[in-house]
C-alpha cells in the first residue's frame, strides 16, 4: 500500500510536467507567417523584401516570414479576403488594388492629387489623423492595419508621346482602379490585368502604356524597355500603401515580436523612401531609355481642377469618405500656403 501511494504521488507530480512539454516545444518553434505583396519580384526586392529581411534577420529564430510576390498565392484583387480568412498572414498593398471592403478602398493607391511628395503620406497618417481612421476601419473587418508610407508618384510611361491633355483620349493604360475611374474623364481606357503581364501587353498592343508609377519603377521592372516616353506631369505625388496582418495572428503575437515587426516595417519605409526619391531624380536626369515630355502647367491645371470635382463626388459617398476628403483639403491648404518645397512651384 505504501509503495502504491508513493507511485501515485510520483505520477501526480510528473503529470503537469508531461502536459507542459508540448507548450515548451511550441515556444521554441519559430512563428511562421506567409506574406504576399502587390509588387512583382523585381519591384518587391526594393519595396517589400527589406522589411521581411529585417524581421527574419533580427527574429533570433523566433519568427520567420516567407515572402510571396504579386499573384503568387492569390490574385492581388483577392489579397484582402485571403488575409481575412488566414490563407495569408500578412499583406503589403494599397487598399485600392486589394479591393478593400471598407470605405478606404478608393483612398489607397493613387487618390488623384491628394499628395505632392513621398513624405506627405506619413504626415497625413501621423499628424492629420488618417492612421486612426485606417486602424479603426480595419478592426471592424478582422484585419490589423499596421502602418502606411508613401512611394513613387503616378506618372505616365507610354509608347505615344503625350504633349497635351487631349492626347490622353483613347489611350489604353494599365492603372489603379480609382486612378482609372478618374482618368476616364479624359478618355483614358483603364485596363485591368495581372501586374506581371503589363510589359507583354504593351508589346502586343493591348496597352499603350502605364499610369502606375514613377520613373524608378519603370526602369526597375522593365517597362522602360517597352515604352518610349515619360510624362513628367503626374496625377498624384505619392502612392499610399500599407502593411496589414490577419487580426487573430496579430493578437496572438507576443509583444516583443510585435515590436520587431513594426521595426522591420519602419526599416523598409526608410529604405524605400531614399530608393524612390533618389531614383526619380537620377533617372530623369541621366536615364537613356525614356524621352521626357511635359504638358504645360496651365493646361495640366484642367486635370487638377477635375480632381477637386472628383473629391467632392467621393465625399458624398459616406461619412468616412467625407472625413478623409476634408483631411486632404486641410493638408493641401497648409502646403499651398507654405509654398516650395511643399508645393511644386
How do residues 137-163 score in pLDDT, each as one tens digit? 999 999 999 999 999 999 999 999 999
User: pTM here?
Assistant: 0.89
CATH number assigned to the domain comprising residue 323: 3.40.190.170
63 & 100 share domain: yes
> How is residue 199 written as a grid cell?
510589359
Q: Is the domain of 333 the same as that of 227?
A: yes
Task: Single out the residue in 247, 264, 282 at which a domain terminates.
Answer: 282
Overall domain count for the chain = 2
**203 and 135 fall within a common domain:** no
Collect the ranges in the chain with pLDDT lower than 50: 1-27
In this prediction, residue 26 carries a pLDDT of 42
Same domain, 305 and 244: no
Quick one: 195 and 324 in the same domain? Answer: yes
How far is 131 from 123, CA to CA, in rounded Å? 10
Give the whole-angstrom CA distance, residue 74 versus residue 35.
11
Question: 123: domain range?
Answer: 32-153+239-282
How far apart, in whole angstroms, are the C-alpha atoms of residue 90 and residue 211?
27
- Residue 22 covered by a domain: no
Q: Specify the pLDDT at position 343.
A: 87
Q: What was the pLDDT predicted at 29? A: 87
Residue 24: inside a domain: no
For residues 306 and 220, state if they share a domain: yes
Q: Would 299 be classed as within a structural domain? A: yes
Q: Are residues 59 and 91 in the same domain?
A: yes
Q: What is the spatial distance between Cα 191 and Cα 180, in angstroms, rounded to a whole number?
A: 8
pLDDT at position 191 is: 96
Map residue 340 onto helix, strand or coil: coil
Residue 5: predicted pLDDT? 43
Grid cell locating 239: 502612392
Q: What pLDDT, on a 0 to 100 scale, did the predictor assign at position 75?
A: 95
The reply to whether 344 falls in a domain is no
pLDDT for the residue 345: 56
Q: Are 328 and 336 in contact (CB under 8 A)?
A: no
104 and 85 part of one domain:
yes
Query: Are residue 170 and residue 231 in the same domain, yes or no?
Result: yes
207, 262: one domain: no
CA distance 39 to 213: 12
User: Does residue 185 share a domain with residue 107?
Assistant: no
What pLDDT, on a 0 to 100 scale, did the predictor assign at position 11? Answer: 43
In a domain, 327, yes or no: yes
Note the pLDDT of residue 20.
Answer: 43
Q: Is 136 within a domain?
A: yes
Residue 63 placed within a domain: yes
Q: By three-state DSSP, how is residue 200 classified? A: helix
State the pLDDT at residue 17. Answer: 38
Rounded distance between C-alpha atoms, residue 294 and residue 173, angstroms: 18
Q: Which of helix, strand or coil describes residue 303? A: helix
- Residue 321 in domain: yes
Give the β-pairing of 155-158 and 209-213: antiparallel
Listed residue (153, 150, 95) closest to 123, CA to CA: 150
Shared-domain flag, residues 36 and 69? yes
Q: Residue 342 and residue 335: Cα distance in Å, rounded?
A: 5
End-to-end CA separation in angstroms for the chain: 95
What is the pLDDT at residue 4?
Answer: 44
Amino acid at each position: 500500500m505504501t509503495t502504491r501511494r508513493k507511485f501515485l504521488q510520483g505520477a501526480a507530480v510528473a503529470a503537469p510536467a508531461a502536459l507542459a512539454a508540448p507548450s515548451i516545444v511550441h515556444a521554441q518553434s519559430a512563428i511562421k507567417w506567409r506574406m504576399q505583396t502587390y509588387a512583382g519580384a523585381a519591384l518587391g526586392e526594393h519595396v517589400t523584401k527589406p522589411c521581411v529581411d529585417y524581421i527574419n534577420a533580427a527574429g533570433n529564430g523566433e519568427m520567420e516570414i516567407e515572402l510571396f510576390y504579386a499573384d503568387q498565392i492569390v490574385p492581388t484583387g483577392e489579397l484582402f479576403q485571403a488575409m481575412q480568412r488566414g490563407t495569408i498572414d500578412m499583406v503589403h498593398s494599397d487598399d485600392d488594388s486589394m479591393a478593400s471592403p471598407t470605405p478606404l478602398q478608393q483612398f489607397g493607391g493613387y487618390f488623384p492629387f491628394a499628395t505632392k511628395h513621398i513624405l506627405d503620406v506619413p504626415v497625413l497618417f501621423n499628424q492629420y489623423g488618417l492612421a486612426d481612421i485606417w486602424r479603426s476601419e480595419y478592426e471592424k473587418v478582422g484585419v490589423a492595419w499596421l502602418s502606411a508610407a508613401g512611394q513613387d508618384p503616378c506618372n505616365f510611361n507610354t509608347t505615344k508621346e503625350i504633349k497635351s491633355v487631349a492626347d490622353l483620349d483613347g489611350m489604353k493604360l494599365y492603372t489603379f482602379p480609382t486612378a482609372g475611374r478618374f482618368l476616364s474623364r479624359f478618355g483614358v481606357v483603364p485596363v485591368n490585368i495581372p501586374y506581371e503581364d503589363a510589359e507583354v501587353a504593351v508589346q502586343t498592343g493591348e496597352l499603350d502604356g502605364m499610369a502606375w508609377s514613377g520613373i524608378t519603377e519603370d526602369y526597375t521592372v522593365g517597362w522602360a524597355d517597352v515604352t518610349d516616353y515619360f510624362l513628367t506631369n503626374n496625377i498624384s505625388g505619392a502612392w499610399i500603401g500599407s502593411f496589414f496582418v490577419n487580426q487573430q495572428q496579430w493578437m496572438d503575437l507576443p509583444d516583443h515580436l510585435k515590436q520587431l515587426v513594426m521595426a522591420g516595417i519602419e526599416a523598409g519605409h526608410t529604405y524605400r523612401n531614399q530608393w524612390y526619391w533618389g531614383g526619380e531624380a537620377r533617372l530623369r536626369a541621366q536615364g537613356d531609355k525614356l524621352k521626357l515630355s511635359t504638358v504645360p502647367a496651365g493646361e495640366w491645371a484642367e486635370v487638377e481642377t477635375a480632381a477637386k470635382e472628383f473629391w467632392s463626388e467621393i465625399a458624398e459617398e459616406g461619412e468616412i469618405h467625407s472625413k478623409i476628403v476634408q483631411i486632404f483639403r486641410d493638408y493641401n491648404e497648409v502646403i499651398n500656403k507654405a509654398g516650395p518645397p511643399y508645393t511644386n512651384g
